Amino acid sequence: MKPKIGRALVVGGGISGIRAALDLAETGYPVTLVDKAPHLGGILSQLDNQFPTNHCGMCKMLPLVERDAGSQYCLRKGLFHENIDIRTSTEVVGIEGEAGSFTVRLKKQPDFVNPETCIGCGECTNVCPVEVADDFNAGLGKRKAVYLPVPHMMPNTYVIDPAACTRCGECVGVCPTGAIGLFRQGRQDFSVLVVDDEYTVRDSIKEWLEEEGFSVETAASGEEALELLTRQTFKMVLLDIKMPGMDGVEVLKKTKEIFPEMAVVMMTAYATVETAVEAMKTGAMEYLMKPFDPEDLVSKVIAVYETQEASKGEQISAGTVIFCGGTSCYDPSVGKNTFGYKQYPDVVTGLEFERLISGTGPGSGGLVRPSDGKPVEKIAWIQCVGSRDLQSGSDYCSGICCMFAIKEAMLAKEHGPDNLEATIFYMDMRTPGKTFQRFRDRAETEYGVRFTRGRVHTVYQDDKTGKLLLSYPGDGSKRIESAFDMVVLSTGQKPASGAERLAEVGDCELNQWGFAATEPFSSAETKKAGIFLGGSFSGPRDIAESVISAGSASLLASVTLHATGGGMAEVVGDTPEYIDVSHQTPKVRVLLCECGSYGNVDLEIIAVSLKSDPAVEDVLTVPGVCTAEGWDALVKTAKRKGYNRLLLGACMPYAYTRRIKDLGAEVMLDPSLMDVVDIRTPWIISTDGIPNASATQQAIIRNLKSGVSRLIGIDPLPKSSVPVIRGALVVGGGVAGMTAALSIANHGYDVALVEKETGLGGNLDWLKNTIEGWDAAAFSENLQQRVEQHPKIGRHLNSTVISSFGEVGCFYTTIETREAAPVTLQHGVVIIATGGGEAGTEAYGYGKSPAVVTQKELEQKTFSKEIDYKTIDTVAMIQCVGSREEPRNYCSRVCCASTLKHILHMKKENPDLSIYVFYRDMMTYGFTETWFTEARRAGAVFIPYTVDARPEVMVEDGASGVSVTAYEPLLEARVQVNADLLVLATGIVPTLPVSLANAFGAGIDDDGFFMEAEPKWRPLDSLKEGVFACGIALGPRSITESVATAQAAAQRALRILSKTALSRASVTARVRHSLCSLCERCIDVCPYGARSVDIDMQRVLVNATMCQGCGNCASECPNSASVVDGFFDGRMLDMIDMVLD
């Protein structure tokens, strides 16, 4: 992929950071991705299962087009993309400049272990004497000071925790590749000048420091010191104050004149403390009192050294910055801690629970009590710990805890004994996602998870049984006490620990809840132009919402780069040219890294064995290829001709992806004809704990032979590509459609916007403002004007799509416009933004009395001032009318917020108005919770009901109002409300025509919404490439959320539109037509819709761009007529056969 001008910086390598970085990298921008942790993945690296699928699907975020540009393995292990420069253990310490040209200062933690040479053997960990709590396992279990931050990471480079490390040096001695000890190397370059008139003092200091690896020079007087300072470079000066001749303070002043940054530590006896204080004012860093403990002095020097190392910082230029700083988890041990967290070992947080049941967790996946290892039979989840809690300063809902608690309860049921009881104590079970309510129902009905409404105040431990006692409210005033083996606290999301500092660095603001503040109608825009927010940094979000907001941020970043001239203009780069070897007999050159001899294996014997294969041309050795010299030697050897396949026997094959590409360009051999085989891992073969050299040798030979066999079978085909029509079709002219159209058109691509109504605007025709008080009407008006004036957007009003055919890169779509002939448009991608509307109802007396209205009618009547709130006394509101139960068993997300908006408005108009809200669960996720609090403060009464006991509405003939009766659980009685106005929250239904979805090959879910390729990881894509959706077509959402989906969908589209042609990846399926019987089973099983049958040619065709190389077709095809390049059956059988030798 050719790079474009204009770099983006993404701060934070969790889900949203990875998404944003990939988005921009895939559109061709170079990206720098930094994370302060030593690994990517954020909190997701600790979570094995994600709701509502209860498994992981992170890899689905990997590139789907131009796949060869990036890694295609488990994303939890690591990420590689040729346009992404990943900097772990790195923080952003400064941002200057403005959108289009920021100068960013990065600070990297020093690498104590050289990632280039660490081979992940773990010898260092074995000898490390220091044990600290294991953060990866949420503090459960222990780890060493030198450790693997994530057990499944690739490359599996060890790191040292500088805070825990005692610098004992044990690990340095055992490291087979000398990867540890960089800090000693660095210390040699750190020269210290010791100035003291007393010989013994300066000499012993010299000795102490040299023992620690520092370079030391000494001076006996001030004059000598100044002389040395001008001749040599020093990083630090240790300076005695009281010296004959020029005294220390004088030397300090002169030194600071020449080297203002020099670190100077004064040394003094008690008598001259005042002088020392004086010296501090002159610029000394610190002073040490004589006589001093050698350890104190040495640790001072080390501290200065490490600070200087750490601040070595690097400056990079970036046109735009995205903050994806994530959140932190609430710590329940702070404050009153009524749940006894950290006090009772069996009280754990949600994250700790996930680690406990993880296969890579402290207990290797078994569900046992942390206190005594006994099996768990009864578990309670307590919701809203550190969320929806004014006492802990969290007047917001964390949004994810209800779902993860349900997931954990289901996992507990799966992992635990059959009689396991799982109970969730909750206030409102918040399931506001498209499939979440059904997930909850499944947990209850299929898994038998119990849901108990009520806030638990305290957890006690029964001293006799060790069990945990919970007391919670039953109906009315009754309290129930129950014993549990384990209590899981569903801890909420807090602003990230570094949020304040990062906001300061980026000159953005924090909102009242402590998260990064966003602009109205955006989840990504900040006050500062060019700096955007992705994921939960701007508020609690689940994975899907984080992915969407990251997409929104990357779109805005891309617009910034484009608009500030960074542009999409392509930099002309050299496309590597390869020699055509397709008609040559395979000749494999095997290069063995000499590190291999470490395990007492004989490379000579290995070479002889390999040469018995006639396809092996020669076997050569190179010195340690992980070192720079080794690599140079390898390149030199590879340049010698006489072969057409290259197999390298080394370690960590996945670390060579980029190097192999470079090597290919250098020796003009297609990188797909080169491969790396791990000849190091087999070293683990041992008999009775003693390494077995001959077995190891055999294993290495088998692996290498298998690798040779694979290479022989690779047949490099000329790269084909699919041309791209660089224009988009957007169906639907509501807020989502307009935003998507503008987002694409602002990159200079043509957009056809099709709207079936006479004007644009969609639901914003009637929706006038939001709960935040933002002016939706003005927002819509502004969007409409920008669309109308945009030269790249063609509007097709009164129009509908009647048919379409084609595939990603080129669709032909015919649209019909009222009173005009149909026209056919050609476009490369399509975005479906057909929206939705308010659901109709016949329940609760609707239609029988003018006093019963829907939320939409209320909005309209409020805006038109048809209702005068001053003249009425009582309003009743019923939530979830026809919602969250079959057949419309999903939450519409917006109705609860809408109810609160109206309550606050009505109360403002008439503070004496009585308002009763009948609800099942108030879905005020995120910051909306604050308005829920406000509405209750304003005096609105909230009465919960269940579907078994719904409110009853009586409409009497001639009466102006209605009466609502319902059971009130606190009063334990039925109450009757005589209301002048009854508002029904009926929810949202989609208006996505089946014919439209079918025309583009998009799926529709059971509720009529667009079916995403994957609900969490690919929330905007159809399984069919090139077809996307946004707004309510995807599922119910607010205006801000719709805008985010529209921008994110546009970003997905730009991956394709930014290229003139999409090239075929090296691992792609094809059909050997002479063998094909045209049974078409491969077409049925292709999950990406990449296959079709050409009736005229009597052939099955594969769209090389849509194909993801998954191999379903090849497995289904009985006679290998369908094959996946690089995985041809014959070769695979040979490879397997080789390792069985």
Between 174 and 605, name the residue whose CB sits nearer to another protein: 605
Between 1060 and 1098, name the residue whose CB sits nearer to another protein: 1098
Q: Map the footprint of another protein across residues 666-725, applying CB under 8 A.
A: none
The counts of H helices and E strands in the chain are 28, 57
Between 349 and 1112, name the residue whose CB sits nearer to another protein: 1112
By DSSP bridging, strand 131-133 and strand 1099-1102 are: unpaired
- Residue positions counted in the chain: 1141
Q: Map the footprint of another protein across residues 963-1022, applying CB under 8 A.
A: none
DSSP letter at 597 equals G
Q: Map the footprint of another protein across residues 1019-1078, applying CB under 8 A.
A: 1074-1078
Decide if 1113 contacts 1086 (C-beta within 8 A): yes
Q: How far is the CB of 49 from another protein (least distance, A)?
A: 12
Q: Map the footprint of another protein across residues 1072-1091, applying CB under 8 A.
A: 1074-1081, 1084-1085, 1087
Between 500 and 1084, name the residue whose CB sits nearer to another protein: 1084
Q: How far is the CB of 1093 from another protein (least distance, A)?
A: 9
Residues 6+ apart with CB under 8 A from 57: 50, 1014, 1016, 1017
Q: How far is the CB of 1125 from another protein (least distance, A)?
A: 15
Q: How far is the CB of 613 from another protein (least distance, A)?
A: 8
Q: How far is the CB of 416 from another protein (least distance, A)?
A: 11
For 826, what's the count of Cα atoms within 13 Å in the CB-facing half-sphere? Answer: 6
Decide if 292 contacts 311 (C-beta within 8 A): no
Between 13 and 586, name the residue whose CB sits nearer to another protein: 586
Between 502 and 1117, name the residue whose CB sits nearer to another protein: 1117
Residue 418 structure tokens: 């059959």
Q: Map the footprint of another protein across residues 413-452, applying CB under 8 A.
A: 414
Residue 474 touching another protein (CB under 8 A)? no
Between 123 and 1134, name the residue whose CB sits nearer to another protein: 1134
Between 260 and 614, name the residue whose CB sits nearer to another protein: 614
Between 278 and 1129, name the residue whose CB sits nearer to another protein: 1129
- C-alpha–C-alpha distance, residues 1073 and 1119, integer Å: 11
Between 839 and 1082, name the residue whose CB sits nearer to another protein: 1082
Site string for another protein, 26-65 (x = CB under 8 A): ----------------------------------------
Element (H, E) at 453: strand 450-453
Between 301 and 1076, name the residue whose CB sits nearer to another protein: 1076
The region that residue 1044 occupies, defined by phi over 0 for left and psi between -120 and 50 for alpha, beta otherwise, is alpha
- Across the chain, which distance is largest between two alpha carbons, in Å? 110
Between 423 and 609, name the residue whose CB sits nearer to another protein: 609
Size of the site for another protein (CB under 8 A): 27
Among positions 134, 613, 775, 1014, the unique one binding another protein when judged by CB under 8 A: 613
- C-alpha–C-alpha distance, residues 110 and 114, integer Å: 10
Write down the residue that tokens 């099709």 correspond to.
754
Cis check: omega of the bond before 155, within 30 degrees of 0 = yes
Q: How far is the CB of 644 from another protein (least distance, A)?
A: 17
DSSP string covering 831-900, please? EE---EEEPP---TTTTT-TTEEEHHHHHHHHHTT-S-GGG--EEEEE--SS-SBTTB-S--SSHHHHHH
Write down the residue that tokens 């190397």 correspond to.
185
- C-alpha–C-alpha distance, residues 780 and 734, integer Å: 9
Between 103 and 1119, name the residue whose CB sits nearer to another protein: 1119
Between 941 and 1078, name the residue whose CB sits nearer to another protein: 1078
DSSP string covering 42-61, please? GGGGG-S-BTTTTB--GGGG
Q: How far is the CB of 431 from another protein (least distance, A)?
A: 20
Q: How far is the CB of 754 from another protein (least distance, A)?
A: 33
Q: How far is the CB of 151 from another protein (least distance, A)?
A: 23
By DSSP bridging, strand 836-838 and strand 829-832 are: unpaired
Q: How far is the CB of 716 from another protein (least distance, A)?
A: 17
The secondary structure of 171-225, three-state, reads HHHHCCCCCECHHHHHHHHCEEEEECCCHHHHHHHHHHHHHCCCEEEEECCHHHH
Q: How far is the CB of 1088 from another protein (least distance, A)?
A: 13
Q: Coil, helix or strand for 262?
A: coil
Q: Map the footprint of another protein across residues 1097-1136, applying CB under 8 A.
A: 1116, 1118-1121, 1128-1130, 1133-1134
What is the edge-to-edge ordering of all strands in the sheet holding 750-754?
Answer: 793-796, 750-754, 727-731, 829-832, 1027-1029
Among 465, 375, 369, 482, residue whose Cα is nearest residue 418: 375
Q: How far is the CB of 609 from another protein (least distance, A)?
A: 12
Between 185 and 1115, name the residue whose CB sits nearer to another protein: 1115
Write down the residue that tokens 């608009």 correspond to.
563
Among 126, 169, 116, 1111, residue whose Cα is nearest residue 655: 116
Between 166 and 1115, name the residue whose CB sits nearer to another protein: 1115
Site string for another protein, 274-303 (x = CB under 8 A): ------------------------------
Rg of the chain taking only CA atoms, in angstroms: 34
Between 604 and 1080, name the residue whose CB sits nearer to another protein: 1080
- C-alpha–C-alpha distance, residues 292 and 286, integer Å: 14
* Helix 603-611 with 693-713: angle, nearest 10 deg: 40
- C-alpha–C-alpha distance, residues 664 and 722, integer Å: 24
Q: How far is the CB of 1131 from another protein (least distance, A)?
A: 9
Q: How far is the CB of 607 from another protein (least distance, A)?
A: 18
Among 476, 470, 526, residue whose Cα is nearest residue 969: 476
Element (H, E) at 412: helix 401-415
Site string for another protein, 358-397 (x = CB under 8 A): ----------------------------------------
Q: Map the footprint of another protein across residues 720-749, applying CB under 8 A.
A: none
Between 469 and 1078, name the residue whose CB sits nearer to another protein: 1078
Q: How far is the CB of 1080 from another protein (least distance, A)?
A: 5
Q: How far is the CB of 1084 from another protein (least distance, A)?
A: 4
Element (H, E) at 255: helix 248-258
Q: How far is the CB of 346 from another protein (least distance, A)?
A: 24
Among positions 291, 373, 573, 614, the unique one binding another protein when judged by CB under 8 A: 614
For 999, what's the count of Cα atoms within 13 Å in the CB-facing half-sphere? Answer: 19
Q: How far is the CB of 54 from another protein (least distance, A)?
A: 9
Which residues of this protein are in contact with another protein, per CB under 8 A?
A: 414, 613-614, 1074-1081, 1084-1085, 1087, 1116, 1118-1121, 1128-1130, 1133-1134, 1137, 1140-1141
